[in-house]
């Protein structure tokens, strides 16, 4: 929190202690009504503005602004004119060299940024002629020109630590994106998301336990379209190395389709290096590092960020349509732990595995066995040229202070609306059950949320963290999972068991909720068989197994194509 003093004409100063700029803006909107906050240099405070301790800001209500003898604010016209003078971005950059041409060109076809006359005059002695031509002097007060001027004329403050590096980059990105989102007419509303550990002092890169993620995500419609990494002064190469680690498995076709690469940045103190991340996951520096302590470096940074915005707008139109897209590198709470999706899979962590094990019956031996079986099944699928039906570990599982595992590949969720969709879901589930049951392990949590798609006609079962022994009784203090029913468990000798038949029953419960009257007799018969936990009377009414379920008539033709 910082102390901010808000000045209002005819009113006593208001002192507030906001945690973030967004919190400050929300407060003044609710308490003061329409208007704007400006600093001592007449720069408008937007969401990405970096607040200072004991900073004085002035509140200008609309009536007061209208009463001042100033020209009308034509920010919208200034911004659209700035962009219209530039050639359109038709093709996405395929390499660092192509991205450099777009971001760091100072040729005559490049943009001209509107700034107030006073700022324009003050910058003339600080810039060479090629840079100075990128600026356009405008008369009067305009929100956009004042905001651009503040970014270009003011060096970052206290720029030695990772935290202050993050604050500076948040200001550059947030303010520029806010201006363009509001005034450019381009359909792109990126959100700058900071690693939660970057919001407090003493944060470290990758400080989310067991789940290293970029310090900055730029997200549009749940798509991560740009990433950034911040470090202490002098550690620029460390930041670039961290970026490489985040994308070492490549960008992945599920989230990025045929897009040739995304933009990234590495920053350390006042050094800013733009990077290109290729589809294969190679990180290449784009041009030279910019020095944000100089007006030249700050101007180059603003120009590059404007171009980043335009490139990301084009990129957003090329992303593959995913019905239930989840933001990459964003850590979310799930069950007893957290999960973070990456282009190549997921990173999962459970901070107190002992408590989790006591409550569910999971164990180190069982989870290692489950992932071993999954890995062997995936290897067999690869040998046959097929995709996996059961998620497997790319690293881990590890059982240190906390439980961690990285799984692969990355799938996506979508609505199951047809019988063929349901057949693909069921086929993946019974195959996964067969592999786990062969190792005397049960999944216990077969439901749609734990089935993802790798292609239009191929599904994969995920989330092995609730696996347990198929022969051991449930712990006395166990809690039933959300989708279990009164018929899920089997009771013997006064103890409850989740057995292999329970897994098959839960697959039946999931399919029963999807089942439609118009579906085939085979579909109805298969679901009824799973719910009964037995083979039909015509086959001897024996106890049902996953292997037997895979031979059902409903799956005719699936074994060769997707087995």
Q: Which residues contact 206 (CB under 8 A, 6 or more apart)?
A: 212, 213, 242
Which ranges of 272-352 does DSSP label H, i.e. alpha helix?
295-318
Give Rg (Cα) of the chain.
Answer: 28
Residue with the two structure tokens 């239009």: 456
Q: pTM to 2 decimals?
A: 0.78
For 437-447, the pLDDT digits (tens) are: 999 999 999 99
Alpha carbons 50 and 41: distance in angstroms, whole number: 14
φ, ψ (nearest 5 deg) of residue 402: -140, 165
In sequence order, the β-bridge partners of residue 60 are: 36
Q: Who has greater pLDDT, 5 or 121?
A: 121
Q: Is the pLDDT of residue 180 over 90?
A: yes
Determine how many CB atoms are found less than 10 A away from the CB of residue 104. 18
Q: Who has greater pLDDT, 52 or 231?
A: 231
Proportion of the chain above pLDDT 90, given as a percent: 64
For 49-73, the pLDDT digits (tens) are: 778 877 888 888 764 444 444 457 8
Contact present, 182 and 224 (Cβ < 8 Å): no
Class of domain 4-67: alpha beta
For residue 214, what pLDDT is reported?
93
Q: 344-562 maps to which CATH number?
A: 1.10.510.10
Q: Who has greater pLDDT, 18 or 104?
A: 104
Q: Is the pLDDT of residue 199 over 50?
A: no
Alpha carbons 377 and 441: distance in angstroms, whole number: 14
Contact present, 375 and 325 (Cβ < 8 Å): no
Helix (H, G, I), strand (E, B) or coil at 274: strand
For residue 55, what pLDDT is reported?
85
Q: Who has greater pLDDT, 477 or 309?
A: 309
For residue 313, what pLDDT is reported?
96
What average pLDDT does this structure show over 460-486? Answer: 92
Pick from 299-313, 402-416, 532-546: least confident: 532-546
Q: Which residues contact 516 (CB under 8 A, 6 or more apart)?
A: 419
Long-range contacts of 22-31 (CB under 8 A, 24+ apart): 22/47, 24/51, 28/59
Contact present, 280 and 250 (Cβ < 8 Å): yes
What average pLDDT does this structure show over 109-113? Answer: 80
Nearest CA among 217, 227, 163 for reference residue 194: 217
Q: Which tokens belong to 35?
A: 């208007």
Q: Is the pLDDT of residue 194 over 90?
A: no
Alpha carbons 283 and 245: distance in angstroms, whole number: 9
What is the secondary structure of 417-434 as a DSSP string?
A: -SHHHHHHHHHHHHHHHH
What is the residue extent of each domain of the chain?
4-67, 75-318, 344-562
Alpha carbons 315 and 264: distance in angstroms, whole number: 14
Q: Which tokens belong to 95?
A: 């390499």
For 137-177, the pLDDT digits (tens) are: 999 889 999 999 999 999 887 667 888 898 889 889 999 99
Q: How many residues does the chain have?
A: 563
């Amino acid at each position: 929190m910082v102390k901010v003093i808000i000045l209002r004409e005819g009113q006593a100063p208001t002192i507030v202690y906001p945690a973030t700029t967004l919190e400050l803006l929300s407060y003044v909107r609710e308490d003061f009504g329409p208007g704007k906050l400006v600093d001592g240099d007449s720069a408008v405070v937007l969401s990405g503005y970096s607040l200072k301790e004991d900073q004085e800001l002035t509140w200008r209500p609309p009536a007061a602004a209208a009463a001042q003898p100033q020209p009308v604010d034509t920010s919208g016209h200034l911004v659209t004119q700035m962009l219209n003078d530039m050639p359109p971005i038709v093709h996405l950059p395929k390499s660092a060299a192509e991205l450099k041409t777009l971001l760091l060109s100072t040729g005559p076809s490049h943009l001209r940024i509107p700034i107030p006359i006073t700022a324009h005059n003050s910058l003339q002695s600080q810039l060479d002629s090629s840079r100075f031509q990128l600026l356009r002097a405008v008369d009067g007060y305009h929100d956009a020109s004042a905001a651009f001027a503040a970014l270009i004329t003011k060096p970052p403050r206290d720029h030695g630590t990772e935290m202050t590096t993050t604050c500076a980059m948040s200001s550059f990105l947030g303010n520029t994106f806010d201006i363009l989102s509001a005034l450019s007419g381009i359909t792109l509303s990126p959100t700058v998301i900071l690693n939660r550990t970057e919001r407090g002092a003493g944060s470290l890169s990758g400080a989310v336990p067991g789940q290293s993620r970029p310090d900055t995500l730029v997200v549009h419609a749940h798509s991560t379209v740009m990433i950034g990494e911040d470090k202490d002064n002098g550690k620029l190469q460390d930041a670039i190395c961290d970026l490489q680690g985040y994308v070492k498995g490549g960008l992945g076709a599920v989230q990025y389709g045929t897009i040739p690469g995304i933009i990234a940045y590495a920053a350390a103190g006042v050094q800013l290096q733009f990077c290109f991340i290729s589809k294969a996951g190679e990180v290449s520096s784009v041009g030279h590092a910019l020095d944000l302590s100089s007006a030249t470096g700050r101007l180059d940074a603003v120009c590059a960020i404007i171009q980043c915005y335009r490139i990301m707008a084009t990129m957003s139109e090329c992303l593959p349509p995913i019905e239930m897209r989840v933001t990459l590198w964003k850590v979310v709470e799930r069950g007893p732990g957290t999960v973070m999706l990456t282009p190549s899979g997921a990173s999962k962590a459970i901070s107190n595995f002992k408590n989790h094990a006591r409550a569910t019956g999971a164990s180190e031996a069982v989870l290692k066995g489950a992932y071993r079986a999954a890995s062997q099944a995936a290897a067999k699928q690869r040998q046959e040229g097929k995709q996996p039906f059961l998620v497997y570990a790319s690293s881990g599982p590890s059982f240190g202070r906390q439980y961690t595992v990285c799984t692969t590949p990355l799938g996506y969720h979508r609505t199951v609306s047809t019988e063929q969709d349901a057949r693909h879901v069921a086929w993946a589930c019974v195959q996964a059950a067969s592999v786990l049951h062969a190792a005397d392990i049960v999944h216990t949590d077969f439901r749609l949320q734990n089935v993802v798609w790798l292609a239009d006609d191929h599904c994969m079962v995920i989330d092995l963290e609730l696996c347990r022994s198929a022969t051991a009784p449930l712990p006395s203090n166990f809690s039933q999972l959300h989708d279990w029913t009164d018929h899920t468990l089997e009771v013997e000798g006064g103890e409850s068991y989740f057995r292999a038949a329970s897994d098959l029953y839960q697959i039946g419960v999931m399919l029963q909720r999807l089942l439609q009257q118009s579906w085939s007799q085979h579909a109805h018969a298969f679901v009824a068989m799973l719910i009964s936990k037995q083979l039909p009377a015509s086959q001897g009414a024996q106890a049902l197994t996953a292997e037997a379920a895979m031979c059902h008539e409903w799956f005719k033709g699936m074994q060769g194509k997707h087995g």
